[in-house]
Amino acid sequence: MKILKNVVIVNPGEKPYKGFVTIEKDKFISVSPGDPKSQGIPEEDGCGGWLLPGLVNTHGHAGSSILRGAGDDMALDTWLKTVMWPNESKFTEETVKAATNLAMAEMIKSGTTTFLDMYHLFVDQFAERIADTGLKAVLGRGMIAFGTEEEKQSRLEASKHLIQQFHGSADGRLHIAVTPHAPYTCPPEFMLKAVELALDKNVLFHTHCAETKKEVEEHYSTYGIHPVDHLHKLGAYSGKSLLAHAVHVTEAHIDLFAAHKVSISHNPMSNLKLGSGIAPVAEMIKRKVNVSIGTDSTASNNSLDMVEEMRMAALLPKGRQEDPTVTNADQSFSAATVGGARALHLNKTGMLKPGWFADMILIDPKGLHLQPQSLEKIKSHILYAMKSSDIQSVWIHGKQLLKNRELTTLDEEKIIYEANIQAQKLR
Ligand SMILES: [Zn+2]
| pLDDT higher than 80, residue 38 | no
Its sign, for the CA torsion 85, 303, 263, 165, is positive
> What local confidence, expressed as pLDDT, does residue 308 receive?
98
> What local confidence, expressed as pLDDT, does residue 158 receive?
97
By three-state DSSP, how is residue 84 classified? helix
Find the length of the chain.
427
| pLDDT higher than 80, residue 427 | yes
| pLDDT higher than 80, residue 179 | yes
Could you write out the DSSP letters of every residue in 359-406?
Answer: -EEEE-TTSGGG-S--GGGHHHHHHHT--GGGEEEEEETTEEEEETTE
Q: Is 294 exposed, middle or buried (0-12, 13-18, 19+ CB in 10 A)?
A: buried
How many angstroms is it from 208 CA to the middle of ligand 1?
6
Is 412 among the annotated ligand-binding positions?
no
| pLDDT higher than 80, residue 152 | yes
Is 405 among the annotated ligand-binding positions?
no
- How is the chain split into domains, by residue range? 2-53+350-407, 55-343
- What pairing do the DSSP bridges indicate for beta strands 360-363 and 291-293? unpaired
Is 151 among the annotated ligand-binding positions?
no
How many angstroms separate the Cα of 216 from the Cα of each of 59, 211, 220? 20, 8, 6
> What local confidence, expressed as pLDDT, does residue 71 receive?
84
Share of the chain above pLDDT 90, in %: 94
Q: Which of 181, 92, 196 is nearest to 141 (CA)?
A: 181
How many angstroms is it from 260 CA to the middle of ligand 1?
22
- CB neighbour burial string for 143-182, b if at least 16 within 10 angstroms, e if fewer: bbbeeeeeebeebbeebbebbeebbeebeebbbbbbbbbb
pLDDT in tens, 66-77: 999 988 888 888
245 phi-psi bin (left φ>0, alpha ψ -120 to 50, beta other):
left
Is 155 among the annotated ligand-binding positions?
no
d(C-alpha 342, C-alpha 339), whole Å: 5
How many angstroms is it from 274 CA to the middle of ligand 1?
11
How many angstroms is it from 299 CA to the middle of ligand 1?
10
Q: Which of 46, 78, 35, 80 is nearest to 61 (CA)?
A: 80
How many angstroms is it from 223 CA to the middle of ligand 1?
23
How many angstroms is it from 14 CA to the middle of ligand 1?
32
How many angstroms is it from 244 CA to the middle of ligand 1?
7
Q: Does domain 2-53+350-407 have CATH number 3.40.109.10?
A: no
Is 59 among the annotated ligand-binding positions?
yes
Q: Which of 242, 303, 198 is nearest to 59 (CA)?
A: 242
> What local confidence, expressed as pLDDT, does residue 39 receive?
80
What class has domain 55-343? alpha beta
Mean pLDDT of the chain: 97
Q: Are 380 and 332 in contact (CB under 8 A)?
A: no
Q: Please list, in sequence order, all residues whose beta carbon lies within 8 angstroms of the beta carbon of residue 365, skipping any fewer than 6 positions away.
A: 8, 48, 49, 50, 373, 378, 381, 390
d(C-alpha 55, C-alpha 163), whole Å: 24
Is 173 among the annotated ligand-binding positions?
no
pLDDT in tens, 243-290: 999 999 999 999 999 999 999 999 999 999 999 999 999 999 999 999
